[in-house]
Structure 1
Amino acid sequence: MKKFLSAVLAAVLVLSLAACGSSSQSSSSSSAAATSDGSASSETAKVEPMTVRISAGPSGGNNFMICATFADLIMKAFPEYTVSAEISNGTAQNIRATAENEAQMCISMSDGAMYANEAGREYTDLEPGQFAYVAGGYQTIIHFMVPADSTVESVYDLKGAKIAASQGTTCQYYLPIVLEAYGMTVDDVEVSQLQLSDMMNAVNDGTVDAAFHITSYPLAAISDVAATTGIKILNIDGDEAAYIHENYPFFSSMVITGGSYQGVDEDVQTVGTLNTLICRTDLDETFVYNFVKTIMESTDTLSSVYPLCGNFNLENTLEGAVIPIHPGAEKYYKEAGIL
């Protein structure tokens, strides 16, 4: 069933890319094939046929759709390549599939990439140094939320509070990092690990004092509660944000734009990380160069098919580079003048 859904989604994306017009396709193909002096093409570069699998995420989710869109564009630009987006349950499975060469490239949040490459945190069983950075994409931002009528105005005010955090990495790793910056540990609060829907219901019902989640925005589940009960999103900024970035470099300062959620009218200063593309260190250099060049020079086409693809661009691509950059990607970034 998963393979069927994958095939259906891929077919939809093929039709979407085709609808962008032959001129866009021609532009992205020639752009991907050219070298920095504009003289080389995919033929003169002697591109070798190869198959690359990208471990992405749940079928129909953002990461799967992004990778499927990338795969279709790459195969249009380079018919020698067979590239596919593979269904997974997220970063941890993506990293392990890539380590085992079931996939050659994957989507990973920046912290997952860093710890996997160091064989740290939950990846102590992996060999260190087997991953390389390819490109950075869209932001996932910490939302530390309290009800709109709460007297809480700062994370400092949450000592002794009941906090619901989304299951997995967010609760296990991210919440302790933020609390640490404010001089607390999980022992100073009462933490419930919940699924997103249950967490937001708890905020709505008033059974928790705060909720902690990391996501791109706006997120429908948060928007619903903002429009009914109302929420405030706490700032994580100043010295505390600087502490987080200094000690956990995969996090950096980010902004939730005012008006993104009903009742949250001012910009929220917080921290977050990037969803990034990483690969095996032994992935062919020519392939990675062609892949990165094609993606970076086709942002308009990609955005028209799936808007989040446009976040993989030259302006922010290196923000999530917390592991060594693959030589193929490095070559293109130097040509583009950002390295």
Structure 2
Amino acid sequence: MKKSLLLFLVALTLVLSGCIERREFITIATASAGGTYYPIGVGLGNLWTEILVEDNVKGTGQSSAGSVENIQLLKNEEAKVAILQGLIGAQAYEGRGGNFEGRPYKDLRSISMLWSNVEHFVLMDKEIDTGTISDIDGKSFSVGPQASGTEQSTIVIMEGLGLTKKDITPEYLGYDDTISAMRDGRLDGGSLPAGVPVSSIMDMAASGVKASVLDVTDEQLDSINSIFNTWFRFVIPAGTYTGIDKEINTIAQPNFLATTAEMDADLVYKLTKAIYENLDKVHQIHNSATEIQLESALNGLPTPLHIGAYKYFVEAGLDIPEHLVPPEAAEGQQ
């Protein structure tokens, strides 16, 4: 009887170990727990775990230092999926600018745009001439904290305007400090990219600071994208901010879901499909997640799609721009 029990326990152990081996763990690199990346990453992990239960998928959000570290986590195979800022993804893929100069990461792949990081260039009304972002020339202007994603994106945008930090009096302030300095008359303006609405800009308007959010022209957008092609048109509706009763024609870059070319194509197909065929659940994850829509899934993506995501979007009827077609798709057609 003891022998039979022992054989049963051995068989049970083998069965259980087989189940464990078949489980597909998806670690999603995000950012600090206090931001938007983390709750959306956790939410997507929970969604995949729920929807792909028959595929034994277990999704887990992982906090990190943000986009730059997330690239390294993907490279080191410490995360299978990551949320990245569009510009950081572009710099990593192309190997120029920021932390990636001379080290292109050509295996980086996009899965989907998630939500928009909307550019808000604010400037005191008395300093406005054309009403566009070129008006920051010669002004005291906060480009964001040093070494932040805000600073990096602001510098690229300025480069698209033919400007450098030498053309302004740069400050390196956070969002609330930028508005405080403007209110005190110590600063003309600043760059505050974020999802709409930005709380510090709502505070700016509510506290009577005489300032506006500047427009971006089509020509300026094209010039900026000639440096890194990751921005797209974004219109902030009139009335979003108190005292600004007209549409604001600005631009945005994506916060996007990324992986590597080595990720299994069938698995990425299922992950992508789970998102877009369960949008009611996705939109409950976070306010910013309500922006996840099929029609905007390709906006501003800086790297080719993963072949699995590409397959899903083709089936869903999206027109895939040439620069987003993965090399693997072309190879499969030969």
Short-chain TM bin: 0.7 to 0.9
Quote how far apart the aligned CAs of 1:169 are.
4.2
**After alignment, is 261-270 or 172-181 more displaced?**
172-181
Letter in 1 for 2:66: G
Q: Which residue does 1:14 correspond to in 2? A: none
Match status 1:101 vs 2:72: no
Q: Which residue does 2:45 correspond to in 1? A: 71
Match status 1:280 vs 2:260: yes
**After alignment, is 246-255 or 293-302 more displaced?**
246-255
Q: 122, 141, 159: which one pairs with 1:145?
A: 122
Contact 1:55 1:87 survives alignment (8 Å): yes
Letter in 1 for 2:48: I
Match of 2:172, SS state, is: strand
Q: 62, 76, 83: which one pairs with 2:36?
A: 62
Letter in 2 for 1:197: D
Provide the C-alpha distance between the structure 1 equivalents of 2:313 and 2:193, rounded to a whole number of angstroms: 29
TM-score where L is the length of structure 1: 0.80
Letter in 1 for 2:120: H
Quote how far apart the aligned CAs of 1:86 are.
0.4
Contact 1:176 1:185 survives alignment (8 Å): yes
Contact 2:90 2:228 survives alignment (8 Å): no
Contact 1:52 1:104 survives alignment (8 Å): yes
**Within 5 A, what are the aligned runs for 1:113-124?**
113-121=89-97, 122-124=99-101
Provide the C-alpha distance between the structure 1 equivalents of 2:110 and 2:70, rounded to a whole number of angstroms: 14
Provide the C-alpha distance between the structure 2 equivalents of 1:61 and 1:172, rounded to a whole number of angstroms: 18
Contact 2:234 2:250 survives alignment (8 Å): yes
Q: Which residue does 2:112 correspond to in 1? A: 135
Letter in 2 for 1:295: I
Match of 2:226, SS state, is: helix
Match status 1:88 vs 2:67: no
Using a 3 Å threshold, how does the CA distance of structure 1 residues 190 and 52 change in structure 2: closer, same or farther?
Answer: same
- Number of residue pairs matched by the alignment: 293
Question: CA-to-partner distance for each residue in 1:88-124, whole Å, 9 max, x for gaps?
Answer: 1211111111111111110011121122122322124
Q: 271, 275, 282: which one pairs with 1:295?
A: 275
Quote how far apart the aligned CAs of 1:171 are.
5.2
Contact 1:140 1:275 survives alignment (8 Å): yes
Contact 1:55 1:94 survives alignment (8 Å): yes
Q: Which residue does 2:204 correspond to in 1? A: 225
Letter in 1 for 2:121: F
Q: Which residue does 1:158 correspond to in 2? A: 136
Quote how far apart the aligned CAs of 1:286 are.
1.8
Quote how far apart the aligned CAs of 1:150 are.
4.3
Letter in 2 for 1:159: D
Provide the C-alpha distance between the structure 2 equivalents of 1:76 and 1:60, rounded to a whole number of angstroms: 25
Provide the C-alpha distance between the structure 2 equivalents of 1:194 and 1:233, rounded to a whole number of angstroms: 17
Q: C-alpha root-mean-square deviation of aligned residues, in Å?
A: 2.0
Match of 2:282, SS state, is: helix
Contact 1:165 1:171 survives alignment (8 Å): yes
Question: CA-to-partner distance for each residue in 1:279-338, whole Å, 9 max, x for gaps?
Answer: 022112221111000001111122134232232221111113321211111111111111
**Within 5 A, what are the aligned runs for 1:8-19?**
none
Structure 2 gap ranges (5+): 1-20, 321-334
Q: Which residue does 1:53 correspond to in 2? A: 27
Contact 2:202 2:242 survives alignment (8 Å): yes
Contact 2:132 2:217 survives alignment (8 Å): no
